[in-house]
Structure 1
Amino acid sequence: LASAAAAWNICASRQDELEVARKENTDPSAIAKKVSNFAFAAFPNEIISRLEQLQFTEPKLVTLLNEANQFLDRKWNPDEKHLIEIRASHHPPGHERHVSRLMFVQDTDIEYKEFAMLETRTGMLPIGTKGQASFVGVEPATAKATIGLPGNEPVEITIRELKNFSYAGLVFNAESVSLEFGTVPVTDKTVKIKLDGKTLGDLDSDSVQQLKQIDYLKNGNPLKLKLTSISETGDQAFVLGESPNGNLLKINKINFYDFSGQTFNDQDYRKLTIETSASKTRDAVFLNGEPLGVLHFKKDKDALRQLGLLKTGKLTPADAIIESNFSVICAQIDPNTVEYPQRWTKEFQAFGTQSVNSEQQEMIESSANILHHIKERPTFLFSTESNKKLGVMGLAVDNQKADTVTKWLTAQKVEWQQVPIEDVIRETQKGLTVFNLVSSSIPPKTLDNMTKKFGAVIESTLEYQQFVSSLATRPQFLKPPEQTAQSQKEQSRHSTPPQDIQNVAPRAIKGKPIPMNYPLMMHGEPNPLPVNTCIDAMRGYGRTHTTRAYEPYKQYGFKEGDIALATGGGKEVAFRVGKQYQISQQMIADQEYQQQWANMEKHSAKALSELFSGKPQVWGLHVEPLGDFVDGKIIPFGQAQSQVTSTQEVQNSSVTIDDLRQWYSAVDKLGKPEAYKQGIVEVANSFKTSGQLSPQATEAMSKDKQDLEAVSRLTQIAQKVGMVWGQPAPDGFTFVNGKTYDLSFNAQTKNLALAHKNGDVILSLEAGKVQINKVTSEVLQTFENANTQVDKALAQKKEQDVELQS
């Protein structure tokens, strides 16, 4: 056991040791996190033996003065044990005890009542754990002093801020001492950080000590920091500032001063200034000539003045009985009484959020592009003997790109058919979707382009099998594939197979269900859908977005790519979580965005401003409904499928010849070929006769209009970005060089070009007409994020770099 303990000490890092080392500016190699794999491998039995008895027997309890503490005036006997239970916090966002574990104590009436919050860095017990514990104060925050002068009634006063003065940590147990009282200069230890002449926040006490150690804590000293918001809401909001040499400073109370509500994510260093307060006169209490604490309450000062004890510039002694009040209590748990819950509750399930290591998350996000390419399965062509006999050529692609590939094949007029999963089990396990392409339908130029991009056609069966076997097996349920196969009879050469995800395991459902209980708010406008609730609009009728007054990822404990549930009206709908983004008040007031929002939400556009104008924060979340969640499985939307005909009739009844004219105008602006526009003319002539549109025409019209809206919105934002950060040229063009995209436009000629740094042209307009359009929802969302940054910059009336890729 001793050897195991020694190995553990060498292999494992203690968080407090890491923090101390960082504060002392120790060599980075000496504070690197260690890996405990060796200890687990070499001493498994010894480690397990230590787990037979509870190791975390003395958790620290904090927030004792919070109004939620139902034992505020209770004096705890350290020798008396009480029944306790660990529960998840039920307090809302912004509350001091939000997203925390609480200790409940059984009162004399046999009822468990809320006592205190477990300190975030203390030893944690599972939610639902019960046991017995006694309570001992360990960190006195204030003290109560009772003064009795002859001929006067005893006076009780409160001495505050003990930890800031000479006797910090000293515990008084109702003992008699001689105190001194007076109004004297006392140094205010608050250190403020200034940004552009305004107060950013208060420097954390640990960071104050860090600057003191290098003798840099002086009024007016400059700081050069990159600021990053860690907690953004409520009284606990703070930012971290990173210096050029990697040291971190914590700045608290961001929402108390001039930058309340602002989020920081700096890529460049800012110039800040230290502001220390001069000594100020305070009414204080002294012990043996050294400051003990300060007086705060007016009633205490008035009482001392009446006794003649509180005089300016002079210390007056008096005997008193003093007793400590504690800001931290240690719960001493009896290990033999601990009862663990039968079913353990994960923290993110209880709190609706997941704990995220910001450093680790930043590393993941920064490497997202390369990870995508590493994980992406290669695309390749093959033509074995059996393929040749059937006159087809095989195409294998990453199953997350299957939808894109089918659209491209259709656009190239290539006849294709997706191979059923049961016929390509090994390929499916590798994360591939396989298509059979009719060889005679592939234009020579298309085939030439495919071989240039994907490599030569594999013609040997053995080579094909070896290539597939060399690929790694794709893990299941970590991120469900965007497209899966269906039975062969449901496929056609010009249709993308719908998803069949009936076998998604229940464990794949992430986070808490998101409520969808509201009706569709139409504000007197006709509802084109045969349903009138948010949950039903998700069930096959196009609702792909929800709006909240808080951050969805944190509130519900899921992230992009997860499968989650929406609930309402006794129904459960499974959906894939999309991107979340902040909606600014400028966006809410923007009529174009209101219409986009209405198209996604199925509410009236008027509902956006009515519901969310003036809200401190508004978040949008994209969702992809997958099916009804029944008995642990996701099944297709039966109701929506059974009403396809009636839905089409409702949609067609709302279509007018003006809609078709707008469609023609949209595709003309999108630069569609003449043959495509002539097709719309034929559809319009048919519509005049029958009054009906085919489902294909309805879908194409909707898509083209959405494409034009996306292009228009991106163009609007691009010009706005250019106006703020662009560099004008003599030829009338404005240029913006971003970190990911380059932009140029001429507002008079209506020419615009948007290109990726890799040279790929995303959008090209000439005389207002689209020449190239590769705008995706991700690109548009990137520019929506940029638009938000522009609005913030305009509001602050200062320039800052804009990040064009989230």
Structure 2
Amino acid sequence: MFQQAYQFAQAFRVSIPEHERLSAAAAAWSVGAARQDELEDKQSDKSPIQKKTPNFVFAAFSDEIISRLEQLQFTDLRVGTLGSEANQFKGQQWNQEQKYAVQIRASDHPPGHDRHGLRLVFVAGSDGKYKEFAALEPRTAHLPIDTKAIANILRGETSTAKAIVEVPGREPVEFTIREIKKFAHADKAFHSEPVTLSIGKVPVPTGVVKIKLDGKVLGELDPDSIKQLQAVNYIKDGNPLNLKLTTISDKYNAFAIASSPNGNLIKIDKTNSYDYQGQRFNDQEYRRLTLDVPQSQIKDAVFLDGEPLGVLFFNKDKEALKNLGVLQFGKLTPLQVTLQSNFNTIMVVKVDPDTIEYPETWVKDTQVFGQQTVNEEQHRAIEKTAAILYKIKERPTILFATPEDKLLGLTQLAVDNHKVETVTKWLNEKNIAIAQLLREDVPLETKKGLAVFNLANSSIPEPVFEAMTQKFGKVIESQEQYQEKVRSLPDRPKHLKPPQSVVSTLSSQASAQTPQPQQQNKAAPSQQTQPITIEDLRAWWRTANNLGKPEPYKQRIAQIANEFKATGQLSPQAMEAMQKDTVNRIAQIAHKIVSTLGQHQTDGSTLVQGKIYDVSFHPERKDWAIAHSKGDVILDVQAGRVQINKLTPEILHSFESANSKLDEVLESKKQKAQLQR
């Protein structure tokens, strides 16, 4: 299921023409990621908040996202608290063309200070020493602490201006001009300079351009789209547009993206505010839409050089200008004034992305400031969803048995590895003999967050077994079906460490009828340096099967395993037979490897040197030697005498793996040879 989801995301990306993918990624991000102002507005009016996570965007458009990371994208850092006494550049007139060396530092101001717990911008003075300038705004782009760069320091935005009229024999008249950013002189700044304004109650363009579909209003063009059409002088009432519409959001800040036949894109805002409220578009064909440029509105306006500068808002200003005879209906009257822009309390540090020097070690704010912002709303939401999140993340319990398990009288139980302690306790209470497999022996299950137990069937009461199958499903007997089910589970995050393995089987003093759970399962003393477990007996059965032993022999191994589960004891004869079969199997595989891959030596022997083990065979003397690549001899056969040293199940497992790989190579060569005939 998870793999299918990723495949769907990739298929979606491939279906989009390459030249449109970056725009599509931006649109998908807008849908999938919540804007901070959107969340704040909803919190203020108590509207329900829809949690958004951009996981789909990362899955579908990873290449597009990476392409935007080649260079810093958010270069304009808004800074505030300029009036703070900590600002060592207070009152300085910044040359906007000059570049300054800046550094981001963590505030060391105490609690209660207006810059406590903030990231600060330090600027290098004429002496080359960095001095404190301003604090980064909470919602601006942030750079890691100790980042250095070269930047321009720009004045803040201006949306109002103050005009002063000198009247002979009277006090100067001051009035405020508002909404400057909406009109023709939005990018200009005025520094107490004399200008001639024209003032009157006259028509003023609204700046709003609507777009219609079938005579009904669909929405409004966003400012960037208006500029795009203004560049080709196309903003005229009734002008047609052929567009394909795609709704991106029909919730808060609803909008659609429209594409033209030549690949241009425009954004249509407020689609939920007009005649097509609630309707979604996903066009495959082009539609004919028209521009609706509303007539100008009558406002108390101020013009500069024949273009709108702003509007009057305060009644006292309007009355003062009427008294001067300059605010008249339908007529513009010139007026000499001194004009001063009102800059807001924010400035912009515009970073040159090519000069960024990131710190070697990145640290979190909490590491520096020793504090963490607590969002009570988030905590309440987490508490509410904790139960359902646990259910979503919980791994299912699976019953499984291979043909070998059946012969040995075993059933495997795969459970969530966070429940090992609980499951172990429950199984022990039911007097069920168990042994948990080591994590390294079940790598796939471990990766998926599962722990695997072997259960002795003879120790499971029938009512308990029926209850288990009713709750967890029937025992899966197909290896492929079991593997498919395990692979369908999501990987468990690596930082969530499961509990350590638990081994719990029957006491050696307990009878088969009244078992008592214990912590370990030990065999009778033998030449083995490690205690025998049920897994060793299971491996013995596989070894006997690989050696081609008859069915009665393998059935006897199964009986021995059942006796071992009941008593915890293994006879010396069984131990000797198991070791003999292990040696014979390793020798069998070693002979195959030497015969296929061996290199003849000067002394008449044949040698294979592997990454872990070396194998040597002398065909005339029938001498064998298997050694670790480090030099430790594991198995030595000379003149019919066998010497065994540190022969472990892991060694047998390694040789079985080598045998399987060799079979694959031989089969591949065989198929190639058949094709060449």
Give the TM-score band, short-chain normalised: 0.3 to 0.5
Larger gyration radius, structure 1 or structure 2 = 2
Q: Which has the higher contact order (CA 8 A, sep 6+)?
A: 2
> TM-score scaled to structure 1, two decimals?
0.36
TM-score, normalised to structure 2, is 0.41
